[in-house]
């Protein structure tokens, strides 16, 4: 065995121990993709806590590094598809692309390491699992906030296929994470505190089962006839004028020929600024909307006459409905490096060829899209574009503070950047979690997949195969009402977690 630290304690880290943690982290990421990944996560996390508990005699620095290795294994496997966007699409050097993926994985792993420190810091007892779960919830929240946030690959989305999905309408994804971590710790501690662990696991199961008996949203109106258009255009076509024109022709024809009440095309379906689109295109679609009594929603590149800080363009969803002005939603939560350049990082973006990588940001309080219907009341849809459906707290806040009701969630996405990887299934689970949290159905219109219709319980009701050019024509039932999570957001679970950590610190100092 190769010693990595000499340390002052009796225990020394070795390469085999670190490799075991790396492999366990990688396995945790792999199981998230399985049909019952949320269930498998829990015993696998128990094994990880066991491995980390073996390092109780290591220094804090060694313990932090060990848990960092576990996180790196998890995120490298979960986020490797970023290599495709950087190297295959963006043209970045292969080595530099690998380094970029590793550095991002190492950064987000820091939050795992900080959360794991609670195992090492707090005095071991039957309630240690509460402190670990609280640490994890707070760390995950911070991961979604600091430097604009990157909460992708949290434990919560795996719970869409796990035992704690029913908690999401009450307290959101962070509460699902809290319970997953707490349950896994109790399983790990069964041999030390069997009665307490069995009792608490039983109580958690009872709460989870009983939470499924209440519903906070209800159907409204007749089902809506929809069509979701999936063009399946490679990303290389988005920078080729002929390719862009081909996409515009395909999507405009699909919308023209549809007889659905609502037709949705994906993010940047029209991948040119609105002022450069073929003459009369938008006007013709507006006329179609009015004459055929249909609603159209599609992605464009918005252009601002008064640029914000020199940013002239935005990632926009443009909506056309009968007898009303055109609707527009500009993406608010932008992707660092992909859609805006953080200060001091222009050199990084210049290393690869990403067009339109410095967008203007949309406002925090944008109106819902109004879907007009014949002989029925209109419906209201909350729009998100691609990456935005990662942020459940932001979506809940928008719905809570919007003067209009919200009956549907609509996400426009283009994941051609990430090729044939698990990125589309990961984002699908995030959309499922958003439906669970809000109790609202969701429509996902994507370029390469996964185009899908989700029920208010997050279940996939209909979907198109990935990497096929097709349209999904079906019906969706709109809902009305607000879940407790929409009313409260993350405040209850964060308050509870912070109080637990304060109690833990007081208790630690006392003993």
Joined tokens for residue 416: 């051609």
pLDDT at 343 over 70: no
Quote the tokens at residue 457: 């319980």
Looking at the fold, whether 456 and 495 belong to one and the same domain comes out as no
> Is 104 strand, coil or helix?
helix
Question: Quick one: pLDDT at residue 114?
Answer: 94
SS (H, E, C) 59-107: CHHHHHHHHHHHHHHHHHHHHCCHHHHHHHHCCCCHHHHHHHHHHHHHH
pLDDT band at 13 (very low <50, low <70, confident <90, very high): low
Angstrom distances, CA of residue 328 to CA of 9, 303, 436: 61, 11, 26
Give the model's confidence band at 509: pLDDT under 50 very low, under 70 low, under 90 confident, else very high.
confident
Phi, psi of 361 (to 5 degrees): -95, 135
Q: Is the pLDDT of residue 436 over 90?
A: yes
Domain of 429, CATH number, reads 3.60.110.10
Specify which of 92-101, 283-292, 486-495 reaches the highest per-range mean pLDDT. Answer: 486-495
DSSP annotation string for 305-344:
EEEETTEEEEEEEEEE-TTSPPEEEE--SPPBTTTB--TT
Residue 486 has pLDDT above 60, yes or no: yes
Q: Which residue has the higher pLDDT, 42 or 365?
A: 42
Q: Where does the pLDDT of residue 346 fall: very low under 50, low under 70, confident under 90, or very high at 90 and above?
A: low
Upstream peptide bond of 184 is cis (omega within 30 degrees of 0): no
pLDDT at 504: 87
Residue 124 lies in a domain: yes
DSSP H helices in 189-280: 194-210, 241-257
The pLDDT of residue 110 = 96
Q: Mean of the pLDDT values across residues 272-277?
A: 84
355 and 419 in a single domain? The answer is: yes
pLDDT tens digit string along 23-52?
Answer: 999 999 999 999 899 999 999 999 999 999
261 belongs to the catalytic site:
no
Round the average pLDDT of the chain to a whole number and report it.
88
Query: Is residue 452 domain-shared with residue 316, that is, in the same domain?
Result: yes
pLDDT higher than 50, residue 127: yes
Q: Tens digit of pLDDT for each residue in 389-400?
A: 999 999 999 999
pLDDT surpassing 90 at residue 237: no
Q: What is the dihedral of CA 30, 444, 447, 261, to 10 degrees?
A: 160
**Per-residue CA distances from 132 to 141, 180, 206, 207, 501 (Å):** 14, 11, 21, 20, 9
The CA–CA distances, whole Å, from 251 to 256, 299, 318, 447 equal 8, 10, 13, 11
Find the mean pLDDT for residues 139-165: 93
Same-domain check for residues 336 and 472:
yes
- Structural domain includes residue 388: yes
Place of tokens 């006392």: 510
Residues 346 and 359 in one domain: yes
Helical (H) or strand (E) element with 457: none
* pLDDT value at residue 8: 46
Strands 327-330 and 311-320: antiparallel
Cβ(263)–Cβ(227) under 8 Å? yes
Span 164-192, average pLDDT:
94
DSSP-derived letter for residue 58 is: S
The greatest distance separating any two alpha carbons of the chain, rounded to the nearest whole angstrom, comes to 80
Are residue 184 and residue 288 in the same domain, yes or no? no
61 is catalytic: no
Residues 232 and 156 in one domain: no
Of these residues, 116, 157, 331, 388, which one is catalytic?
331
CA angle 14/60/504 to nearest 5° reads 135
Q: Do residue 80 and residue 208 come from a single domain?
A: yes
For residue 437, give its domain range.
219-482
Residues 452 and 495 reside in one and the same domain: no
Task: Decide if 8 is inside a domain.
Answer: no
Residues 235 and 152 in one domain: no
Of 135, 112, 139, 52, which Cα lies nearest the Cα of 503? 135
Is 267 considered catalytic here?
A: yes
499 pLDDT higher than 60: yes
The answer as to whether 368 is a domain residue is yes
Q: Which residue has the tokens 């006839």?
A: 225
- Going by the DSSP 8-state scheme, the letter that residue 2 receives in this structure is -
- Report, as an integer, the average pLDDT of 272-297: 87
Tokens 């995030």 -> residue: 430
Verify that 98 and 72 share a domain, yes or no: yes
Please state the pTM of the whole predicted model. Answer: 0.91
Report the pLDDT averaged over residues 298-312.
76
User: What is residue 172's predicted lDDT score, i.e. its pLDDT?
Assistant: 95
Q: Is the pLDDT of residue 7 over 70?
A: no
CB neighbours of 325 closer than 8 A, spacing ≥ 6? Answer: none
Active-site residue, from 140, 227, 261, 267: 267
Catalytic residue among 157, 386, 388, 437: 386
DSSP code string of 458-487: S-EEEEPPTT--EEEEEEE--EE---HHHH
Q: How confident is the model at residue 379 (pLDDT cuts 50, 70, 90)?
A: very high
Q: End-to-end CA distance of the chain, in Å?
A: 36
Residue 104 located in a structural domain: yes
**The token pair that represents 171 in the structure block:** 């307290």
More confident residue, 234 or 445: 445
One-character DSSP codes across 420-448 = SSSHHHHHHHHHHHHHHHHT--EEEEESS
Residue 502 pLDDT exceeds 70 = yes
- Total domains in the chain come to 2
Q: Does residue 355 fall inside a structural domain?
A: yes
Is 261 among the domain residues?
yes
Q: Which residue has the tokens 């530099």?
A: 96
- Asked whether residue 9 is domain-assigned, the answer is no
pLDDT over 90, % of the chain: 61
- Do 136 and 265 belong together in one domain? no
């Amino acid at each position: 065995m190769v010693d990595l630290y000499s340390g002052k304690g009796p225990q020394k880290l070795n390469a085999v121990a670190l490799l075991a943690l790396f492999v366990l982290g990688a396995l945790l990421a792999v199981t998230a993709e399985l049909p019952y990944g949320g269930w498998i996560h829990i015993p696998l996390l128990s094994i990880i806590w066991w491995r980390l508990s073996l390092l109780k005699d290591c220094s804090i620095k060694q313990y932090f590094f060990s848990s960092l290795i576990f996180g790196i294994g998890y995120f490298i496997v979960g986020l490797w598809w970023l290599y495709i966007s950087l190297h295959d699409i963006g043209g970045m050097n292969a080595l530099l692309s690998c380094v970029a993926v590793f550095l991002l994985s190492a950064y987000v792993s820091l939050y795992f390491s900080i959360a794991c420190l609670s195992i090492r810091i707090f005095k071991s007892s039957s309630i240690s699992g509460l402190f670990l779960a609280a640490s994890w919830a707070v760390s995950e929240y911070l991961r979604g906030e600091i430097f604009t946030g990157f909460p992708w690959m949290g434990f919560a989305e795996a719970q869409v296929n796990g035992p704690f999905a029913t908690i999401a309408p009450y307290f959101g994804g962070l509460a699902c994470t809290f319970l997953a971590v707490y349950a896994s710790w109790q399983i790990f501690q069964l041999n030390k505190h069997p009665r307490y662990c069995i009792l608490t696991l039983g109580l958690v199961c009872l709460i989870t089962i009983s939470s499924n008996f209440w519903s906070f949203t209800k159907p409204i109106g007749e089902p809506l006839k929809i069509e979701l258009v999936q063009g399946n255009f490679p990303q290389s076509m988005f920078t080729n004028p002929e390719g862009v024109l081909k996409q515009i022709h395909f999507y405009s024809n699909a919308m023209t020929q549809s007889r659905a009440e609502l037709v949705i095309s994906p993010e940047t379906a029209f991948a040119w600024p609105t002022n450069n689109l073929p003459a009369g295109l938008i006007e013709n679609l507006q006329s179609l909307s009015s004459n055929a009594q249909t609603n159209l929603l599609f992605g464009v590149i918005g252009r601002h006459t008064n640029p914000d800080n020199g940013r002239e363009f935005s990632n926009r969803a443009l909506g056309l409905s009968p007898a009303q002005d055109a609707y527009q939603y500009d993406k608010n939560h932008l992707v660092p490096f992909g859609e805006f350049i953080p200060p001091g990082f222009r050199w990084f973006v210049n290393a690869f060829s990403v067009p339109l990588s410095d967008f203007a940001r949309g406002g925090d309080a944008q109106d819902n899209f109004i879907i007009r219907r014949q002989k029925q009341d209109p419906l209201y849809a909350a729009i998100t574009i691609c990456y935005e459906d990662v942020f459940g707290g932001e979506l809940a806040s928008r719905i809570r503070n919007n003067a209009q009701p919200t009956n549907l969630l609509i996400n426009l996405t283009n994941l051609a950047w990430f090729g044939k990887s698990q990125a589309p299934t990961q984002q699908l689970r995030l959309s499922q979690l958003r439906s669970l949290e809000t109790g609202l159905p969701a429509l996902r219109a994507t370029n390469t997949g996964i185009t899908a219709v989700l029920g208010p319980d997050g279940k996939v009701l209909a979907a198109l195969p990935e990497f096929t050019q097709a349209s999904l024509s079906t019906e969706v039932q709109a809902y009305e009402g607000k879940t407790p999570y929409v009313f409260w957001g993350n405040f209850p679970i964060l308050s509870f977690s912070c109080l637990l950590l304060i109690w833990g610190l007081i208790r630690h100092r006392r003993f």
